[in-house]
Homo-oligomer: A and B are copies of this chain.
Amino acid sequence: MLLKVGELAKRCGLTVRTLHHYDRIGLLTPSARADNGYRLYGRSDIARLHQILALQRFGLSLAEIGACFAQPGTSLTTILTQQIAMLDQQITQASRLRAQLAGLQGSLLDGVEPELADWLTTLELMTMYDNYFSQDELARLPMLGNGEAAEAQWRALVGQVRGLMESGVAPEHEAPRQLAVQWMSMLVRDTGGDPRLVAKLNLMHEQEPALQTRIGISTALRDYVLRAFSESKMLIYEKYLSAEEARFMRAHYVQTALDWPPLLAEVRDAIDADVAPASPQGIALGRRWLALFQRYAGDSPATQLKFRTAMEQEPELLAGTWADDRMFAFIRQAMAAMMQQQS
């Protein structure tokens, strides 16, 4: 019962080349050779080949199959769980991509077929997002999924704000202020209240000029909104401050606005990772928080107290800020630990 290579190949539905390959890499060496050099496969070789094919069908690479034979310590359950896990990952990944493509296809079916070139620029944006956000974060960015409704809302808002800015209306006026508050509220909503997402959005917006032109939000426009939004907050704080304190705040508040989201993001990460507020890492965050706060509140504890009072009295101050009670609690504890340490 010795088979030549071609016979074995036919019987197993393989090519001769494949068997040559297995021979070369030492996975299946025929147990005999004829005098003329022909490979002769015996019964045990055939059995081994079947086993190889079985493991291959499981998705193992030839190298892994070789390892299985080399050390018989490997248990089948290990192999199975491993391969199943791999398949699961593969399946979820493919399904996610499929869902994305199907969504895209759905949005294509309604309207006119656009030019490929137009779509490519849209896709350009998609990869940009991919670049800054993990798959997980993308799924949590409601902005993208909401599609139509949210997008129209944003387009309208951006248009209004740009109208005001281009007409020369100062951002401190009431109309820009109201739009800015709406802007931030929508942003909070569309980031699911997660400061990490908004920090990354800001980063992306800053680093991708192409994005700015595409969605129509230049850095100038963003600064305009930022100033208007800051003004809306400062108008409230002012009621609690002396003229001198208000002057200081007005000189520095706007510049700190963009620094908050990254810090909030880090605090949120720390909370999610169960970092203790009193730990060195927690205290470092508290220190940075305090520094940022002092940049517009100043060094005087009395003034700082006024800000805190304002914040407690006026819940409106928290609107559009991505800060919540959990984060405040964390920072309070971190600062307490900080004081303790210093004294």
Interface string of A96-136 (1 = CB under 8 A from B): 01100110110010000111110111011111101100000
Q: B114 and A76: CB pair below 8 A?
A: yes
Q: A105 and B81: CB pair below 8 A?
A: yes
Q: B101 and A95: CB pair below 8 A?
A: no
A57 close to B (CB within 8 Å): yes
A188 close to B (CB within 8 Å): no
**Measured between alpha carbons, how far is A206 from B209 in the docked complex, in Å?**
70
A235 close to B (CB within 8 Å): no
Q: A84 and B98: CB pair below 8 A?
A: yes
Q: B116 and A74: CB pair below 8 A?
A: yes
**Measured between alpha carbons, how far is A98 from B123 in the docked complex, in Å?**
32
Q: A53 and B130: CB pair below 8 A?
A: yes
Residues of A7-54 at the interface with B, using a CB-CB cut-off of 8 Å, are 11-13, 43, 46-47, 50-51, 53-54
A83 close to B (CB within 8 Å): yes
Interface string of A259-277 (1 = CB under 8 A from B): 0000000000000000000
Q: B210 and A72: CB pair below 8 A?
A: no
Q: B124 and A105: CB pair below 8 A?
A: no
Q: A97 and B54: CB pair below 8 A?
A: no
A156 close to B (CB within 8 Å): no
A219 close to B (CB within 8 Å): no
Taking A74-B116, A108-B80 as contacts, is the C-beta distance between A123 and B51 under 8 angstroms? yes
Q: Can you report 30 residue pairs joining A to B where beta carbons are below 8 Å apart?
A: A12-B131, A47-B121, A47-B124, A50-B127, A50-B128, A51-B120, A51-B124, A54-B120, A54-B123, A54-B124, A57-B126, A58-B97, A58-B101, A59-B97, A72-B116, A76-B108, A76-B114, A76-B116, A77-B108, A77-B113, A80-B104, A80-B105, A81-B105, A84-B98, A84-B105, A87-B98, A90-B94, A91-B91, A91-B98, A94-B94
List chain A positions with a Cβ less than 8 A from chain B. 1, 11-13, 43, 46-47, 50-51, 53-55, 57-59, 68, 72, 74-77, 80-81, 83-84, 87-88, 90-91, 94-95, 97-98, 101-102, 104-105, 108, 113-117, 119-121, 123-128, 130-131, 207, 209-210
